[in-house]
Chains A and B, each alone.
Chain A
Amino acid sequence: MSDVEAMDVRGACCLSTAGVSDRLESLSEGEILEVVLDETMYDALAELVREKNCEILETKKEDNAVMVRLQKKKRMLKVKPSAGYPTEEGSYLRGNEFSPVAVAVLLNAPRPLPNQPDTKDIKIPPEIENLVRVAVETGAALAGTLQTENIGIEKLISNVVGNPNIRYLVLCGAEVEGHKTGDALKALLKNGINDRRTIIGTKAPTAYLFNIPLEAIERFREQVTLIDLLGETNPEVISKAVWSCYQEKPVQFKDYTLFDPGAYPKPAISCRLSLMVEHPEEIEEWELDEIAKKIKAGLTVEEKKVVEKVITKDEKFAEIGKRLAKVSEELLVIAKIFMGEEAAVEAPRVEVTAPRVEVTLPKEEALSKVEEMEILYFENQLRGYNAVFAAFNALKSDMCGGGLNLPLAVNKAIKKLENLRQDLGKSPMPAKKKGEIDSRINNFLKQAEELPTEPGPCQKTAGNCKIGPGCFANGALDILKLITEPKR
């Protein structure tokens, strides 16, 4: 307390005369000043404090006097990003690296594929490109697209932790349907990851962060505050969000109070993706523990690559074995041809056969939106039946063929198909399309004739089916429940 300088200006006619104005001007950073003044002068002091770039720390009222403790406002700390920032390549634009905000625009579009020249021309949709551009032009440090819930998020983390000035992350754009990347990013910031390197509490199918240090993930979660604009595609809103983040004084933006808090008070983390697991979307749940263990063991990148290979070694051997078997089959065929025995050559046996159904409709004439939606509705239904009937066909040779639930499921599917045909009759789509769809419905109904429809005894009750409470036939029929859109 003895270090605090005190000024008692009670009875002074104005703060300037009392020397407060000059003292505030000369106050250095970290120095604290205590001013005791008449209560009537308090508003004048508050105004002077703002003018002189100081801030009030504490105010105490005693009788008709007020004690005000104040200090010079700390200068906003900005730091240099790490060398090589941003460390990961991607589809983004760089702006002012001292800006406190980065913007991730969710991308629902195909990415150019490296081995397919005709897809290299595929461009990011202009409305998405525009959002990225607007974000950087408004003042974001980084703005780019984000598509995948694993490698995509890892690259984002890597680039953000390389720049401690970034304190806000604006998430915008329509959710990436297949990946649920927006949901994954929100869950990561809210819940973090578990010890299997999986983001906790997300609907994203493969939200695994295998390739980035835990330290970087934790830093990312501490360093940035999420501005959740998931679903927002209006450039003006994104621009307002970015602007709000770098204001010196707090401003209100939606439910957020935003201002530039300065750099995160720890050095930048420079990291790159290890790419230990290059295809996280292929990882099975039973592999997670093993992979997490290997990462934890702190292996070198090369060793890590070997680990991945070890995981897939058995299947590679299986693959080689299968290919060798195919080669020997072919050699046998050639040998038989030479010996005039080609007629005796048998076709390889395949246990599961899937029905082939034509699914694309030629677009010969312009269709109205209503007609397109109608066709889409029926096409989506029929896609489902394609999978359902293939599953039924696989089941019929099993014990389910003489059971209760497969025939019941088949009968339900028949009813649904007949219902679908009635709906088709009422549909406003062109007659030609109706005819095509009707023929596909007939195709399924014909397939149904080959399936069991007479219910037998329940195979669970009979003690034959030991699968537990589930039922494959019912499960197969449930596939149809996936058709949620477009609503009719």
Chain B
Amino acid sequence: MSSIDFENMLRGYKIVLGAIKASSDDICMNCINLEVGKTKVRKGLTKLGMDIEKSTIPDEKKKELSSRINTLLEVAEGVPLAPECSCQKSAGVCKLGAGCYVTAAMDLLKIANP
């Protein structure tokens, strides 16, 4: 992957984090999908960091991107979650239908996939 690909991925994570953090003010705070989303963002960012380290992009760029990853990881850490989460659809609380805002927000990352 080139530095453009990494930049695009980071833009994606920034948007996704914004969306899932906004969802955490809602019933989604108790939802397993938000917990999963948060974990996926953390894992994805960690993996992105590893990919950046392994890549051939200049060291200076690596540092810059890694610092942005760390900032995003901090934001991800700050997404509030209930101590125990369960699917809010199964619990009969979420009446949105078949869709899920958090999952849809996570899907935005696919736009950035190189």
Residues of chain A at the chain B interface (Cβ within 8 Å): 107-111, 113-116, 119, 147, 176-179, 205-206, 281-282, 284, 286-287, 312, 314-315, 318, 322, 348-357, 359, 376, 380, 383-384, 386-391, 393-395, 398, 466-468, 470-472, 475-476, 478-479, 481-486
Contacts and interface: CB of A to CB of B under 8 A. Distances in A.
A383 B111 CA distance: 22
Interface residues of B, number: 64
Contacts of B18: 352-354, 390-391, 393-394
A484 B50 contact: no
Contacts of B44: 284
A401 B87 CA distance: 35
B43 A315 contact: yes
29 contacts: A109-B90, A110-B92, A176-B89, A177-B90, A178-B89, A179-B87, A205-B103, A281-B32, A281-B36, A350-B74, A352-B17, A354-B25, A376-B95, A384-B101, A390-B18, A391-B15, A391-B18, A391-B108, A394-B14, A398-B11, A468-B111, A471-B111, A475-B111, A476-B19, A479-B104, A482-B97, A482-B99, A483-B97, A485-B97
Given A179-B90, A479-B101, A485-B96, A391 B19 contact: yes
Interface in B23-74: 23-27, 32-33, 35-36, 39-40, 42-44, 46-47, 49-50, 71-74
Contact of A359 (B20, B25, B32, B36): B25
B22 A390 contact: yes
A373 to B, nearest CB: 9
A357 B21 CA distance: 12
B11 A108 contact: no
A389 B99 CA distance: 18
A484 B23 contact: no
Contact of A352 (B21, B95, B105): B21
Given A178-B88, A482-B96, 12 more contacts: A109-B90, A111-B86, A284-B44, A312-B43, A380-B96, A389-B22, A468-B114, A470-B112, A479-B104, A481-B99, A482-B104, A483-B97
Interface of B: 4, 8, 11-12, 14-27, 32-33, 35-36, 39-40, 42-44, 46-47, 49-50, 71-75, 77-78, 83-84, 86-92, 94-101, 103-105, 107-108, 110-112, 114
Contacts of A376: 95
Nearest to B46: A315
Given A482-B97, A482-B100, A359 B90 contact: no
Contacts of A179: 87, 90
Nearest to B44: A284
A143 to B, nearest CB: 20
Contact of B26 (A206, A350, A386, A482): A386
Contacts of B94: 178
A351 B91 contact: no
A286 B86 CA distance: 24
Give me the 4 closest cross-chain CB pairs, A-B, nearest first.
A482-B99, A470-B111, A485-B97, A390-B22
Nearest to B39: A282
